[in-house]
Each structure stands twice: as structure tokens, then as C-alpha cells.
Amino acid sequence: MTYVRPTFRHPALPTNDLGYTVDYYEGSLSTLCAGCGHDGISAAIAQGCFELNIEPHRVAKLSGIGCSSKTPAYFLANSHGFNSVHGRMPSVATGANLANRDLLYLGVSGDGDTASIGMGQFVHVIRRNLNMVYLVMNNGCYGLTKGQDSATADPGSKNKHGSVNLFESIDLASLAIELGATFVAQSFSGDKGQLIPLIKAAMSHPGFAFINVISPCVTFNNNPGSTKSYDYVREHMETTALMDFVPIAREIKADYQEGSVENLKMHDGSTISLRKLDQSWDPLDRISAMNAVQQSRIKSEILTGLLYMVPDTADLHAMLQTSDRSLNSLPQAELCPGLAVLETLNTSLR
């Protein structure tokens, strides 16, 4: 089988403010199984970056190992990319971000990559509020190694061969809120209407933005009895709010007459408009957000949408008071200020 993407595109494809059509934000043809949820998320990322008028060369895509971690090959072909080691994407992202703060960092991971081997790195990158989007394509199994249960598989969930998971699941969104993540959202690969605005809002957030996307594995975990199958997720999705992301300098066109509307201002002046469905939930209140997630877990529902956000936040660079210029733009004299400065520094530490 050959994987050659046809180059023909409709001549009237719309362009964004930079003059690019959406295909400029696509990548190579996917080699994932037909129907894999991950492909829908890749398409949503391409569409979100197109709509945000992002220059692809300003994005750095980082991933670990897994079917999910392969996806950066399938979107943003004109961006920087680093496919790292299983569970180690956060440390690569931290190093790259500290060296060059001018890029937009987009980390893609799987539930195996994040909730097992990468758990240590995941919790610490949250604590540090690294300015990045961290997106987990969550299918409740290790797709690449043939479908073993992952740590996000729900207790009682059945795999393809009928065996039942005995263990408690790790809820990544709850954990992220608990650890102080400043933007936490949850969505479904089959719901582009919700996923694209969430990706756009996350890309515009000035700190750590986490999106847990339920993304069914059609080959190993899409059977009756699985709580990560397309049918189960469609039947058990509960949405916090209908949302729209309005970039700065764009008129707010959405019609919000019904229900209660929350307009959250981002640091750059853009807005997230939320039409609340659950009146008891407040996206700016950590306790209320945690309560809403736990209540939905008790009901075996999957709460989707923007769960929690701190609009104005200090990222790792602000906390460490690093140079406001990327290291590759600093001249040699500033990068290496010389022996006398080093000696003064050493003396101050003695």
C-alpha cells in the first residue's frame, strides 16, 4: 500500500489572514487505522492553527511514543518537531521552551505515555506551569503495543477479548486541576465543534494548558463494555458549556441570549464565551471545577468542555525571571559574560 496524499485541492479553498489554505497546516498521510480517534484530533489541530492564523514555523510539536505520539507527523508539516522517548516529552518540552520562549509548544501524548511511564514528568511539568499545550489522546489502552489496558481504563471496562479491568482509573483532568494546571479541558475526538475552540483557547493561554481528549482505539478498545468506545462516549458525554473562542480584534458574533453566559478574557484580550449548561459549575473556581468532574465520574459520565482556567498566570519563565529573549538571539558576550562575572557569582555563593 502506498501512502501518497493527492496534491489537488479545490481552487476556491478559503484562506486565512496569512493567505494560507488549511492544507498548509496538514502533514503526511496518516498510517493509523481507519477510524482511529487520533486522526480526528490531528485534523482539529490543523484547523485550529489555520483559524488562529499561526505561522507553522512558530510551532514546535513534541511527543513521546505511541500511536498518539506518531500524530505530529500528520499535522503541521511546516513546523518544528521532536518525537522523543516514551513518557519523556515534558522534559524535552521544558528544555526547548527554556532555550527558546518565542515558539508555541504543542505536546502530544497518549494515556499510556502520560499516565504510566510518563506520570512523573507529567506532574512536574504541571507544577512548573510551562507555557505549552499538553494534549492527551486518551483511548484507555496501549494502542501501539496491541491494546493492553492503560491506567486510564475505567474499573469494570471490558477489553476486546472480554477481560475486565480490575483497577481504579487515573482521571487526568482531575489530577491536572489538583496540581494547579492553569487551563484544563476535556473533549472527544468526534466532537470537532467543541474541540477546535478548545485547542484555539489552549494555544492562546499563557501557561500550561491541558486537554484530555477521549479518542477511541477502533482496533483494540471499541467493543461493547469498553467505556472508551465511540458508542459509550457519545451516550455518556455531559458538556459544561457551549463554547466559542473569539480572538482579539474579532467581533463577538455568537448569539448568547439563552442561559447564563460567561465571557472569560484571556491575557491577550481574546475571549472565551461559555454558555453554561450546569449552573453549579464555575470555570474560575478550582473547587467547583473539581466537584463537577467528580460528580460526573460518580454518574459514569464524561464531563467535556473547558473545566477550569486561570486567565492571568505566571509561567515558568516569569517565575524564574529568565531572559525575555530566546537564547539563540543572545550575542556571545551575553551568553558567556566572562570569567570575572563567574568569579563574582561563585564568591557570592561561598
Q: What part of residues 53-112 is at the interface with ligand TPP (CB under 6 A)?
A: 65-68, 86, 110-112
Residue 22's binding partner among ligand SF4, ligand TPP, none (Cβ under 5 to 8 angstroms by kind) is none
Q: Of 20, 74, 142, 308, which lies in the binding site for ligand TPP, with binding defined by CB under 6 A?
A: 142
Q: Smaller CB distance to ligand SF4: residue 103 or 144?
A: 144
For residues 4 and 291, what is the distance between their CA atoms, to the nearest angstrom? 48
Q: How many CB atoms lie within 10 A of CB 336?
A: 11
Interaction of residue 113 with ligand TPP, rule CB under 6 A: yes
E strands, the chain, in order: 59-63, 80-83, 104-110, 132-138, 141-142, 148-149, 183-188, 208-214, 237-239, 241-246, 261-265, 271-276, 302-309
For residue 112, the minimal CB distance to ligand SF4 (Å) is 10
For residues 67 and 134, what is the distance between their CA atoms, to the nearest angstrom? 16
75, amino acid identity: F
Site string (32-51) toward ligand SF4, x via CB under 6 A:
xx--x-x-------------
Interaction of residue 150 with ligand TPP, rule CB under 6 A: yes
Output the residue with the shortest Cβ distance to ligand SF4.
Answer: 143
Q: Smaller CB distance to ligand TPP: residue 84 or 273?
A: 84
Q: Which uninterrupted H or E stretch holds 343?
A: helix 339-349
- Given a contact cutoff of 8 angstroms between Cβ atoms, the answer to whether 196 and 108 are in contact is no
Residue 107's binding partner among ligand TPP, ligand SF4, none (Cβ under 5 to 8 angstroms by kind) is none
Q: Please provide residue 205's backbone torsions phi and psi, each rounded to the nearest 5 degrees.
A: -80, 135
Q: Which uninterrupted H or E stretch holds 320?
A: helix 316-320
Q: Name the segment binding ligand TPP (CB under 6 A); options: 95-103, 139-147, 254-262, 280-288.
A: 139-147
Q: Smaller CB distance to ligand TPP: residue 217 or 243?
A: 217
Q: Smaller CB distance to ligand TPP: residue 145 or 260?
A: 145
- Given a contact cutoff of 8 angstroms between Cβ atoms, the answer to whether 214 and 137 are in contact is no
Residue from 316, 305, 301, 335 nearest 101 by CA: 316
Residue 33's binding partner among ligand TPP, ligand SF4, none (Cβ under 5 to 8 angstroms by kind) is ligand SF4
For residue 28, the minimal CB distance to ligand SF4 (Å) is 15
Q: Which residues contact ligand SF4 by CB under 6 A?
A: 32-33, 36, 38, 67, 139, 143-144, 217-220
